[in-house]
């Protein structure tokens, strides 16, 4: 086995799956890429991520904070102000996420053609 296959299939497998489950959900990469612009308040994040509900944004931010990818800062003001920002670890996710997005854009037409071909044979 190559070194990369050993990593995926070896003892690191459960950890890799756990991390990928977090970052490959529906909203995480959109939140991380939005926070790449800098600190944002909850409503500002929600406004910049079309389709995300208040509940899903809150839940995903909580998970990202737990994983150390996002930091939540609450200010003792009236009215209360809360801001979110990427941690140093969270910022390291940007480059691989952009690489994956680029791969998807480059290979998307081929994948769609393959799906159409498969579906027409299967029906």
Pairwise CA distance, residues 18 & 12, whole Å? 10
Q: Give 73-113 pLDDT, tens digit per residue.
A: 999 988 889 999 999 999 999 999 888 888 988 999 999 99
**Selection from 19, 27, 26 nearest residue 92 by Cα:** 19
**Selection from 63, 59, 87 nearest residue 73 by Cα:** 87
Domain over 3-92 is classified CATH 1.10.10.10: yes
| pLDDT at residue number 5 | 53
pTM score, whole prediction: 0.79
Map out the domains of the chain as residue ranges.
3-92
| pLDDT at residue number 91 | 96
Q: Give 21-51 pLDDT, tens digit per residue.
A: 888 888 999 999 999 999 999 999 999 999 9
Pairwise CA distance, residues 39 & 45, whole Å? 9
């Amino acid at each position: 086995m190559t070194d990369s296959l050993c990593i995926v299939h070896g003892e690191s497998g459960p950890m890799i799956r756990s991390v990928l489950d977090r970052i490959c959900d529906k909203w995480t990469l959109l939140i991380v890429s939005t926070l790449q612009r800098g600190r944002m308040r909850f409503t500002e994040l929600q406004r910049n991520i079309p389709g995300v509900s208040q509940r899903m944004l809150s839940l995903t931010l909580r998970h990202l904070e737990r994983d150390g990818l996002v930091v939540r800062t609450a200010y003792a003001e009236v009215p209360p102000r809360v801001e979110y920002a990427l941690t140093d670890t969270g910022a390291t996710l940007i480059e691989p996420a952009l690489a994956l997005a680029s791969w998807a854009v480059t290979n998307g037409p081929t994948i769609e053609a393959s799906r159409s071909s498969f579906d027409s044979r299967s029906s």
